[in-house]
Amino acid sequence: MVLRLALIEIALFLAPFAIYAAWLWFTRGSAARSNWTAGPVYVLALVGLILTVIGFVLLASFGEAERGTYRPAEVRDGVLVPGRFE
């Protein structure tokens, strides 16, 4: 579940860069390095950060919440029993 949430946030950050690269490809025929000047990259990074923060807020607000009492991980008879909700 943590990996899924991390991948969602990474995708939200990288989405503006992918959209810009696609726009460059379709309008100029290539997404060459010369088209990636500092100005657009700063704006894309800012938009990516804003999308990531929005994603964190939405996942915290509407994400799947675990119900019940949390039982921390413990060692029983020499075997590690992972933490769980009961």
Q: What local confidence, expressed as pLDDT, does residue 42 receive?
A: 95
Q: What local confidence, expressed as pLDDT, does residue 66 receive?
A: 67
Q: What local confidence, expressed as pLDDT, does residue 48 receive?
A: 97
Considering just the CA atoms, what is the radius of gyration of the chain in Å? 21
Task: Please list the ranges in the chain whose pLDDT falls under 50.
Answer: none
CA distances from 11 to 37, 57, 66, 69 (A): 22, 15, 24, 32
- Confidence (pTM): 0.69
Q: What local confidence, expressed as pLDDT, does residue 60 receive?
A: 84
Q: What local confidence, expressed as pLDDT, does residue 1 receive?
A: 67
At position 24, the amino acid (one-letter code) is L
